[in-house]
A = this chain, B = another copy of it.
Amino acid sequence: MRCYNYAAMERIFEADSVVIVGISERPGNLGLNVLQNLIDWEYGGTVYCVNPRGGEALGYPLYASVSDLPEAPDLALLIIPAPAVPGVVEECGRKGITRLAIPAGGFEEFGGGEGARLRGELVAAARRHGIRFVGPNCLTAINAHTGMCLPFVPVPPEIPRGGVSIIAQSGGIGLDFLARLKDDNTGFAKFISVGNKTDLDEADYLEYMGRDPRSEVICMYLEDVARGRELLEAARAIDKPILAYKANVESLTRESARSHTAALANDDAVLDGAFRQAGIMRVDRLAQLAGYAKVFSLPPLRGNRVALVSPTGGILVLASDQCARRGFEFPPLPASLVEDIRAHLRAGVIDISNPVDLGDVHDADARAYIIDRLLGQDFIDGVIMLLIARISGGKRMAGNIRGLNKNILPELGAMIKRHGKPLVFSLLSTSEVRLETRRTVDFPIFNDAEEAVDAASVLRDHSLRSKRR
């Protein structure tokens, strides 16, 4: 039985000092990427560098060994080949460094006797000194808020800081997740690539992120689950949204997963039910992890009663389909509200009902008025709004919204705050237009109608389950 300790785990993620062991200025040295990441991400802690040959790297002096360091840093990152790992772990232990991150592959995942032997030596050395470690065989950790960016591949820092954290059993998929956050202009908190999880595993990380105040939404990419009971217990104790993609569900892939991180596939159907009971929202496409995470920056959606609004009839039709699949209802609008809206509109509009077809409402202020009134109704839990924007940003395409005389998006953002209800907004357009538009608003923009409706259902599921809300 592992002994969980928040403070101990925090020493990894919130380390005030880090030593990179194995860094040199030789071209292609992976430690150099880590140091560059720390510089690019503006890490505020102390950074030490170790290489037996001495010299310097990017202006940092290279200590000959960890025992030569002036202090025992909070965390040591060992950018060294697997066979050298157990010896350096021993050295770290003697120095009093008790938290490590180990990227190297070449342990039990290779299947041979040598890898298993190295694993044994690593575990023994760690136990001798009370060391806890991340990995091996992974990209290790990022804390976006402190700038502690430890992966050995360049990770550009242009991702907004925020509340979304990721636990990834594949470093590559974790990096793809960060790319999606950047694409969506979604705020990022912490990243952990779990690797072989010889010591710390996804249950530990989940428990930590559950208590970590910076992690507001937790996403997981899992290939297997090492300690199912502990993972589910951790999830049950967490009131934050938890989204999980569980790969490796088909028999064909078990071979492939084993070679990747020595993982074993789990029984998919059992896991599905267990996840649901523990409040883990399972997604079935990788893109949904980041896609749904952003919905949680909206206020809670406390029920199924939505207004569905679009100026495009076709989008209303297909979004209605999707709403029906996700259990949403469209409360009819009372005559008094319809009367108010009609009175407010310049042109006579033939039909106002829910779903709300804005096809005849070409005035931006009138559209904003309608959304405001809808959000203000007691019998409406939230609004789903679906727009199609023009194809390109050319000179005849002024404004983000087709046919409108002004951009009402900032007003919509203010309404969300004022009413404390979600406006789940999708913009069908090119990625260029969406990228531009995302930079101008402080609420999430979904890529299409189906994604918006699905995300709204995930928000609802969590809002109804959450005790705090």
> Considering only CB atoms and an 8 Å cut-off, how many residues of chain A contact the other chain?
81
What would 26 A/B residue contacts be, using CB atoms closer than 8 Å?
A: A153-B390, A154-B396, A156-B392, A156-B397, A158-B392, A170-B313, A170-B314, A171-B314, A173-B314, A173-B315, A176-B315, A178-B391, A183-B430, A183-B432, A223-B317, A247-B314, A248-B317, A252-B320, A256-B320, A257-B317, A259-B357, A260-B313, A260-B317, A286-B449, A286-B450, A431-B431
Q: Which residue of B173, B357, B390 contacts A154 across the interface (Cβ within 8 Å)?
A: B390
How would residues 230 to 271 of chain A score, 1 for a CB under 8 Å from any chain B CB and 0 otherwise?
Answer: 000000000000000101111111011101110000000000
Min CB gap A387→B, angstroms: 9
Q: Which residue of B314, B323, B403, B430 contacts A260 across the interface (Cβ within 8 Å)?
A: B314
Q: A148 on the interface (CB 8 Å rule)?
A: no
Q: A351 on the interface (CB 8 Å rule)?
A: yes
Q: Which residues of B are found within 8 Å of A351, using beta-carbon distances?
A: 259
**Contacting pair A324 B432 (CB below 8 A):** no
Which residues of A in the span 415-469 have a Cβ within 8 Å of any Cβ on B? Answer: 428-435, 447-450
With A and B bound together, what is the CA distance between A350 and B252 in angstroms? 21
Min CB gap A38→B, angstroms: 14
Q: A47 on the interface (CB 8 Å rule)?
A: no
Q: Which residues of B are found within 8 Å of A388, using beta-carbon distances?
A: 172-173, 175-176, 179
Q: Which residues of B are found within 8 Å of A169, using beta-carbon distances?
A: 314
Q: A414 on the interface (CB 8 Å rule)?
A: no
Q: A155 on the interface (CB 8 Å rule)?
A: yes
**Contacting pair A179 B397 (CB below 8 A):** no
Q: A321 on the interface (CB 8 Å rule)?
A: yes
**Contacts A286-B449, A402-B153, A431-B435: A175 and B391 contacting too (C-beta < 8 A)?**
yes
Q: A221 on the interface (CB 8 Å rule)?
A: yes
Q: Which residues of B are found within 8 Å of A318, using beta-carbon distances?
A: 173, 245, 247-248, 286
Residues of A at the B interface (CB closer than 8 Å) are 36, 110, 153-156, 158-159, 168-173, 175-176, 178-180, 182-183, 221, 223, 245, 247-253, 255-257, 259-261, 285-287, 311-318, 320-321, 323-325, 330, 350-351, 353, 355, 357, 388-392, 394, 396-397, 402-403, 428-435, 447-450
With A and B bound together, what is the CA distance between A396 and B169 in angstroms? 26
The residue on B at minimum CB distance from A355 is: B256
Q: Which residues of B are found within 8 Å of A389, using beta-carbon distances?
A: 179
With A and B bound together, what is the CA distance between A228 and B221 in angstroms? 44
The residue on B at minimum CB distance from A154 is: B396
**Contacting pair B314 A221 (CB below 8 A):** yes
Q: Which residues of B are found within 8 Å of A450, using beta-carbon distances?
A: 285-287
**Contacting pair A321 B248 (CB below 8 A):** yes
With A and B bound together, what is the CA distance between A200 and B435 in angstroms? 38
With A and B bound together, what is the CA distance between A2 and B15 in angstroms? 76
With A and B bound together, what is the CA distance between A388 and B314 in angstroms? 34
With A and B bound together, what is the CA distance between A36 and B261 in angstroms? 58
**Contacting pair B428 A176 (CB below 8 A):** yes
